[in-house]
Amino acid sequence: MKTRILGKSGLAVSELGLGCMGLTFGYGPATNEAEAIALIQKAYELGITFFDTAEAYSQGANETLLGKAVKSFRDKVVIATKFGFKDGDAGKGVDSHPKRIRAVAEASLKYLNTDIIDLFYQHRVDPDIPMEDVAGTVKDLIKEGKVKHFGMSEAGVQSIRRAHAVQPVAALQSEYSLWWREPEKEILPLLEALGIGFVPFSPLGKGFLTGAINETTKFDSTDFRNVVPRFSEENRKLNQAMVDLVKTIAVEKNATPAQIALAWLLAQKPWIAPIPGTTKIHRLQENVGAENIILSKEDLQKIAEASSKIEVVGARYPAHLQNRVNK
């Protein structure tokens, strides 16, 4: 698989990464450990060298799983993890006190069974802690050799500018897909100007753009999509138009809808590296196939024109979580 450089940081990653969250958290019961390890190792065999986890994904269990899976090839991959929630629990709110950042770093090093974190993201901006203090703490961790690069997630323009002035931000991780285009307004131009890479999460619209979900789909009781307005039964039905568009392009390109959605992202900027997640090896193989799908200027124009006429319905987070993004 080809590599991409995240902005001016020099951090080289496979152009598609693997989001590991769903292996233990968010989308129903945790995957069997042996199967999860096999999937991560298969991803590496297929050329993926960029793996994403976080303290908040099962309070260390996700990081431990990833650490076990990549142990034999740790020096060949880039591991990204995150700090920023109280007790590592997103339900308890944000916490980026410098003391907490340091505690998370030490715990993550232990869970991941590694001596350095390649990319350390602030998971969500903490409005109570000056961004200069957050960036300064990570800067110190970099000086101490515990972290290589600083990242941010779902941060807004001013927070990114303030952080970058203290410690260069290597990458911003935020949601971006044909189903969520908001970053195009202010975030992408800023990242380009500052030389910051972009790592889109949920590049397949939390599974919706694969075409495998419709208004009759029933999610596991522990699946967080149950509380996402965009995934209400009514909104899924209304949003089917976007899936139909992707399917149309997929047929023309002899590809799958997921491959078109990922190829579209890869075609946007050379410093974008999406991190689709999956628990199934056949889906992993399908996603990796996206790197061979080349969308022409005509294809992209056709998608742009058609998608501009489609109104996506429903918020991407429940109301009580909306205030955590774009700070």
Domain parsing of the chain, residue ranges: 3-324
CA distances from 198 to 46, 101, 122, 195, 299 (A): 22, 22, 14, 10, 23
Burial profile 108-122: b = 16 or more Cβ within 10 angstroms, e = fewer? bbebbebebbbbbbb
CATH assignment, 3-324: 3.20.20.100
- For residue 317, indicate whether it is catalytic: no
pLDDT at 110: 98
Q: What is the DSSP string of 4-24?
A: EE-TTS--EEESS-EE-GGGT
Kindly name the residue from 44, 57, 111, 176 that is annotated as catalytic: 57
- The angle, 0 to 180 degrees and rounded to 10, between the axes of the packed helices 281-288 and 33-45 is 20
DSSP annotation of 295 reads -
CA pair distance 161, 298, nearest whole angstrom: 35
- Residue spans of alpha helices (H) in 118-186: 131-143, 157-166
Judge residue 294's burial from the number of C-beta atoms within 10 Å of its C-beta, 0-12 exposed, 13-18 middle, 19 or more buried: exposed
Low-confidence ranges of the chain (pLDDT < 50): none
Task: Please answer whether residues 19 and 201 qualify as being in contact, where contact means their C-beta atoms are separated by less than 8 angstroms.
Answer: yes
pLDDT at 321: 75
For residue 231, give the 3-state DSSP assignment: helix
CA pair distance 12, 25, nearest whole angstrom: 27
User: Residue 130's CB: how many other CB atoms inside 10 A?
Assistant: 13
Maximum C-alpha span of the chain: 54
CA pair distance 302, 249, nearest whole angstrom: 9
- The angle, 0 to 180 degrees and rounded to 10, between the axes of the packed helices 257-268 and 297-307 is 110
CA pair distance 269, 188, nearest whole angstrom: 9
CA pair distance 312, 45, nearest whole angstrom: 36
User: In what side-by-side order are the strands of the sheet with 169-175?
Assistant: 18-19, 50-52, 78-83, 117-122, 147-153, 169-175, 197-201
User: Residue 309's CB: how many other CB atoms inside 10 A?
Assistant: 8
Q: How many CA atoms lie within 13 A of 5 on its CB side?
A: 6
First to last CA, the chain: 34
pLDDT at 222: 87
Would you mind telling me the total number of residues written for the chain in this entry?
327
